[in-house]
Structure 1
Amino acid sequence: MNQKFKKYFPPFIGILAVFTVWYIVCRTGLLSSYVLPSPGRVFQSFCKMLQSGELFRDLRISFLRVGKGFVIAFILAFAFGMLRAMIPASAGYYEYLVQFFKNVPPLSMIPLLILWCGIGETTKTVIIVLASFFPMYLNIVKGFTGCDRKLLEVGTMFGYTERQKFFRIMLPYAMADILVGMRIGLGYSWRAIIGAEMVAASTGLGHMILFAQQMSRTDKVIVGIFAIGIAGYLTDRIFGLLISIFLKGAGENGWN
């Protein structure tokens, strides 16, 4: 019990300090309620949105979009990473393209994507894929190319084929980097979907925030921000828990 208290006490104090400052600013009138509504008003809006089902509906839609785009991005990242690991010479054909698009913000592609794909689900899926592909791909390549050469030599001594060496040596060795890359990519997916939904959607958390801003409902905007942060945090913690279970903590890389 004492250990749990020590673990959760500092975060609790930090969160309490933020809400205290927020309450004092609103109470003293340093900012108008239009610019920064009070915590009580935000909480009331949160309860109303829960009761009406509005918040859960938009959250579910955003979650499904993130899941779809994330899975597609991982499949592509793993395929290209595996191709580079098994056929190193193939990297020359696409590596420069990867490095180029890695530096292009996905949201800058929205005008073209709307022109090509419309404002349907395809546009939002592509944006998520573009946002989450690169951190996963780079970590997957790091894991595969960083495999200990001595282990591969041992595999050769035992008569392993290239395919066997990949699945029995390289893949287990790279698993920590792969999972960490997936965890980072998941965070990028949440960041991308909100921007995409603000531009090319009629549902989802991003659209909810934009519509609330247009209606001058700052309290709903803050509720949406909290919903995004909590959803992203929970999915990240679940992923971190899976890493700890499957790798016995070896893949945390500094995350608690």
Structure 2
Amino acid sequence: MVRAQALNKPIAGGKKAKKSSAAWGKGLVFPLLVIIIWQIVSSSGLVSVTVLPSPLQIVSTFYQLIISGVLLEHLQISIYRAAAGFLLGGGIALILGFLVGFSKQFESYLDPTMQMLRTIPSLAVTPLFILWFGLDELSKILLIAFASFFPLYVNTYNGIRSVDMKLFEVAQVLEFSRWKKVTKLILPSALGHILVGIRLSLGIAWLSLVVAELMGSSSGVGYMIMDARQFSQTDKVFVGIIIFGVVGKLTDSLVRLLEKKLLKWQTNFEGVE
């Protein structure tokens, strides 16, 4: 019996690997089809190069920007701004979301204000941030922090409040201390919601980065895009857009990988074949 189970493990691992590679293959079909059609349309001259440069031209521009070091310089600054804003906004969101979710007193005092602020668009507070903090790095980081705060706050709060009350009753019978309730009961149960909040906050951080880099910036991928637009360098604009998409996807994939490792004890519906 034990030998049979041992033999089944590598087979199961092989099946998972095949499914993963098959999923990647299927995911590439549509982008490749779009790129082929795009190249054909661009090469035929039906559309102006200024309006829609060919994929090969975009790749060539991408390569030139990498070789010159311009792209890496802009990308490093953008990653720093997005990471600093996310860590600041996300850190505060985790603390407040946990306090409000765990305590009715904190909920009464803080949550109404948080829910009101959540409805204010980032673009609406941009002029205020410029007036308060100027056009330095601080205003950009704070704007990203403001935008990335709310998805993680709401998901942390909802994750804690979605913990099954029956588990609390069991913890009460077992005489768990408050610390043990938090570490053994609340955090494991709310972790799925918190990780979803992190994914959403990271996405919002990248979206708000573009707005932040329009605030009198002289560096960053967002600035590079706006500078290219002024000189009608559409291929350079596409390079910036692709960079945002690729880095955003990589950060999202890292969080999803973290989800799989931390939540492997959960058995969730994964869709039908």
Cα pair 1:180 1:252 within 8 Å, conserved: no
Give the stretch that moved more between structures: 112-121 or 125-134: 125-134
Q: Aligned partners of 1:30, 1:207: CA distance in 2, in Å?
A: 30
Q: 2:236 aligns with which of 207, 220, 240?
A: 220
SS of 1:165's equivalent in the other structure is: helix
Report how far residue 155 of structure 1 moved: 1.7
Q: 2:176 aligns with which of 157, 160, 163?
A: 160
Structure 2, unaligned runs of 5 or more: 1-16
Q: Aligned partners of 2:225, 2:24: CA distance in 1, in Å?
A: 30
Residues 1:178 and 2:183 aligned together: no
Q: 1:83 aligns with which of 67, 89, 99?
A: 99
Amino acid at match of 1:92: S
Q: 2:10 — aligned with what?
A: none
TM-score relative to the length of structure 1: 0.92
Q: 1:110 — aligned with what?
A: 126
Cα pair 2:140 2:215 within 8 Å, conserved: no
Q: Aligned partners of 1:102, 1:143: CA distance in 2, in Å?
A: 18
Q: 2:13 — aligned with what?
A: none
Q: 2:163 aligns with which of 147, 169, 185?
A: 147
Give the stretch that moved more between structures: 231-240 or 95-104: 95-104
- State the identity as a percent: 35
Q: 2:84 — aligned with what?
A: 68
- Inter-CA distance 80–251: structure 2 relative to 1 (3 Å threshold): farther
SS of 1:198's equivalent in the other structure is: coil
Q: Structure 1, residues 216-240: CA drift from partner, whole Å, max 9, x if none?
A: 1111000000111001111111111
Q: 1:13 — aligned with what?
A: 29
Q: Aligned partners of 2:55, 2:101: CA distance in 1, in Å?
A: 52
Q: 2:45 — aligned with what?
A: 29
Cα pair 1:243 1:251 within 8 Å, conserved: no
Cα pair 1:127 1:192 within 8 Å, conserved: yes
How many residues end up aligned between the 2 structures?
255
Amino acid at match of 1:146: S
Cα pair 1:135 1:181 within 8 Å, conserved: yes
Cα pair 1:144 1:170 within 8 Å, conserved: yes
Cα pair 1:58 1:208 within 8 Å, conserved: yes
Cα pair 1:86 1:162 within 8 Å, conserved: no
User: What RMSD, in angstroms, separates the aligned Cα atoms of the two structures?
Assistant: 2.1
TM-score relative to the length of structure 2: 0.87
Cα pair 2:78 2:221 within 8 Å, conserved: yes
SS of 2:213's equivalent in the other structure is: helix
Amino acid at match of 1:224: G
Amino acid at match of 2:106: S
SS of 1:202's equivalent in the other structure is: coil
Cα pair 1:177 1:251 within 8 Å, conserved: no
Amino acid at match of 2:118: K
